[in-house]
Amino acid sequence: MKHPALPAFQGDNNMKRPMTGRSLGWVGWAGWAMAAALALAAVATQAQQPPNRGLGQDQEDQLAQKHDGYYGALAPENLAKPRAKPPFNLTGTWFINLRHSFSDFMFGPPYPHFYAAGQQAMKEAAAARAAHKSYRDASGQCWPIGMPMILTRVWPIAIIQMPTAVYMVDSFFDSLRVIYLDRKHTSFDVSVDTYNGESIGHWTKDALIVDTRYFSTDHHYIDMGIPISEKLRIVERITLADNGHTLVDEFTMTDPDMWQGEWKSTKRWIREDYSDIPENECLPNLNSNLPSTEAGHAAAEKESHVKSSAPAPAPAPK
């Protein structure tokens, strides 16, 4: 099923496609737009329609985002298809390994050679650190973090492996990533950009290989504010080590608009069998009280200024 297109384009002269609702940066925009349109249509035709008229099949198919001619990943008929046994099972709760250094949540250094936008971001981030300020604090404003940074946040990740897909739920923002194992990539002209991208995986003898494309770029950064373009592509080689207690993910990232060549980084996660992921919603009003966010830092500075400029209390009488 094609998503409704808007009369606008994104990309450079060599890669242009209609900008879908979710390409605008908010996942599910197209679904909300469809629901709103149906609601308005129902109000406009209320006098002509019988009371409590439900959805038609075509409307239900659109709102449920029904696939055109193939089963969903969790359809019993799809799960029951014969498949080769994978070399391991990723199901479990995992936590990013920061035992060597807390900064291991970042994907550099080393860094590739950045082009102008990345070089500028590195300079501005360094200046912000020197001034003890945050830089491009997208998550503090409740923007989705997106791949690859969502995987290395300091929160546990639940992974559920099925024959048709691997589901990853990061408890930071309750972010969902699905690696489909039963299909190929959507063609570029009808693809939908999201913050975690479209991930398609396949098994080799000893690894899961994942190819992720089609990213939303709005407020989507790597490490300390390095921007991406819609040409970002992430290839991962995922294995298990230490008798299944360590998940190893070898990243190879390319973005010909933002940096030269390949950006490689290897990350490790620790199996946490005595942990579950909590629910975690992003609420801007709470984030504004955290000094690590831009709004919280500004509020703390303002409060400090008010205190420092307040007149000293009069001495107590003797």
> Using one digit for the tens of pLDDT, what is the confidence trace for 119-160?
999 999 999 999 988 899 888 888 999 999 999 989 999 999
Class of the domain covering 92-271: mainly beta
**23-79 residue pLDDT tens:** 444 445 555 555 556 555 555 555 555 567 899 999 999 999 999 889 999 999 999
Predicted pLDDT of residue 284: 73
Over the stretch 243-267, which tens digit does the pLDDT of each residue have? 999 999 999 999 999 999 999 999 9
Q: Which of 292, 235, 229 is nearest to 262 (CA)?
A: 235
Does residue 173 contact residue 117 with C-beta atoms inside 8 Å? Answer: no
Each residue's pLDDT tens digit, 75-106: 999 999 999 999 999 999 999 999 999 999 99
- Model confidence at 227: pLDDT above 70: yes
CA 218/CA 220 separation, integer angstroms: 5
Domain boundaries, the chain: 5-66, 92-271
**Neighbouring C-beta atoms of residue 95, cutoff 10 Å:** 15
**Across all residues in the chain, what is the average pLDDT?**
83
Q: Which residues contact 71 (CB under 8 A, 6 or more apart)?
A: 77, 78
> What is the Cα–Cα distance from 207 to 238, expressed in whole angstroms?
6
pLDDT score of 306? 54
Q: Is the pTM of this model over 0.75?
A: yes
| Residues counted in the chain | 318
Query: Which range among 12-16, 169-173, 287-291, 309-313 shows the weakest confidence by mean pLDDT?
Result: 12-16
pLDDT at 59: 92
Residue 291's CB is within 10 A of a number of other CB atoms, namely 13
